[in-house]
Amino acid sequence: MQLLTGIVRNYPWGSRTALARLRGAEPTDQREAEMWFGAHPLAPSLVGERTLIDVIADDPTHSLGNTADQGQGLPFLLKLLAADEVLSLQAHPSREQAKEGYARENEAGIALNAPHRNYKDDNHKPELIVALSEFEAMAGFRPVPLTNELFDVLACPELERYRSLLPDAPADSVAQGSGDNVRALFTTWITIPPAARVELISAVVASARAVLDDSSREVPQWMREALSNIVELNEMYPGDVGVLGALLLNKLTLQPGEALYLDAGNLHAYVRGLGVEIMANSDNVLRGGLTSKHVDVPELVKVLNFDTLEDARLAGEESVVEGARVVRYPVPIDEFALTRVELDGRWEVPTGTPTIIVCTEGTVKADDAATVLDLRAGEAAWIPAGNAQVVLEGSGQLFVATHA
């Protein structure tokens, strides 16, 4: 077991205060968006003065256990994420799409750090985020019947001309999805001429403001949140095609401890808040708007899953053991597993798999008989698969990331 130093990533949407406050540090002028704990080549964490990549390479079997046989290194990337503004509207490719896209861009001679590069590696990027604060997000295409209800409330003439692309769907479509209808409308909107797009967005936003300003109207809370979100996004990115995309997405607000899971192809964007995020070890992002970065609409459409999603929230499985409340977040993939531990006493960390522990609250002592680490909020420990038993003691909150 060794102390693992996370790498801070500065992006325009990041917070100047949230990660600093969590670590007990003074805020700076920099927007701290993410802190990476892992072995991704773009920003590998440090063990002392060495990267975790180098440490793993010294003895892959000891570090990764059975995972070493796959020859792909540490299969997950753990992050602290702090958003003060909306992230880009985006989706991630499947493993097959990532392999094909990565090879294609390599063959074309596109540098890995080129601004217009889509595929930074050949891996997929399913991801799970657990809220540390109230956390807002857009996630998955909303069921068609609900979107039709929203359009009815908007009563926007400029929007009505597109309603034929999203016909009334049967009630069971909420569960089964209405991908073809959503695909037709989304692809139409992202390809209309800029002037027509701006005109449509202006009309939709004006209708949204009218609904929100009319205190006499009884409008469901989910609709108010969705319409407020559209107005706010247009203020940040006026006339951006991502505003139209957001009009079709579920708008969610997670409370601390609640989780959101997104598989390949799910269109989404985090809006604001602080959370712990874990994903397959990848940085592949296809963007569709709400950003100054490269947007590749044809490539995005290729990876999107247009089936509607009723709710992307993921329920945790809670257990109480002596000294800890343990919440596991089950995901349908084998690259990672994430467990939240509310410690008030003593808890033994399961061994035999590569593990990263990050403390998000309080002070916790980690002891494997050979090494003792005092972990404070924002600090992490690397536990290789071949490590001896690790015992945690103290009072605080930790997240334990492992290979599933």
pLDDT at 71: 63
| Whether 300 contacts 294, CB under 8 Å | no
Distance separating alpha carbons of residues 183 and 9, to the nearest angstrom: 34
Is 100 among the annotated ligand-binding positions?
no
Question: Alpha carbon 102 to chain centroid distance?
Answer: 21
pLDDT string in tens for the chain (404-residue length)? 999 999 999 999 999 999 999 999 999 889 999 999 999 998 999 999 999 999 999 999 999 998 766 667 999 999 999 999 999 999 999 999 999 999 999 999 999 989 999 999 999 999 999 999 999 999 999 999 999 999 999 999 999 999 888 876 554 444 444 678 899 999 999 999 999 999 999 999 999 999 999 988 899 999 999 999 999 999 999 999 999 999 999 999 999 999 999 999 999 999 999 999 999 998 899 999 999 889 998 899 999 999 998 888 999 999 998 899 999 999 999 999 999 999 999 999 988 999 999 999 999 999 999 999 999 999 999 999 999 889 999 999 999 999 98
Instruction: Determine whether the annotation assigns residue 127 to a binding site.
Output: yes
Q: Which residue has the tokens 């290194």?
A: 73
Contact in structure between 97 and 282 (CB atoms under 8 Å): no
Across the strands, what pairs with 356? 382, 401
Q: Annotated binding residue at 40?
A: no
Residue 303: name the closest of 198, 186, 400, 200 by CA: 186
- Domains defined along the chain, listed by start: 2-59+72-112+119-138+254-283 (2.60.120.10), 143-250 (1.10.441), 317-402 (2.60.120.10)
3-state DSSP percent of the chain in helix, strand and coil, to 5: 30, 35, 35
pLDDT at 175: 41
Closest CA to 252 of 243, 244, 261: 261
Type and span of the H or E element at 291: none
The answer on whether 294 is annotated among ligand-binding residues is no
Report strand pairing: 268-280 vs 127-131: antiparallel
163 carries an active-site annotation? no
What is the number of H-type helices and E-type strands within the chain? 12, 21
Q: Which amino acid is present at 370?
A: A
Which listed residue (31, 142, 197, 287) is catalytic?
287
The predicted structure's pLDDT at residue 404:
80
DSSP symbols for 23-79:
HT----SS-EEEEEES--TTS--EETTEEHHHHHHH-HHHHHGGGGGGTS---EEEE
Q: Which residue has the tokens 């992002």?
A: 285
pLDDT at 176: 43
State how far the Cα of 255 lies from the Cα of 132, in Å rounded to an integer. 8
Q: H or E element: which one contains 243?
A: helix 241-246
pLDDT in the model for residue 97: 97
Q: Rounded CA gap, 12 and 267, in Å?
A: 21
Are the C-beta atoms of residues 74 and 52 closer than 8 Å to each other?
yes
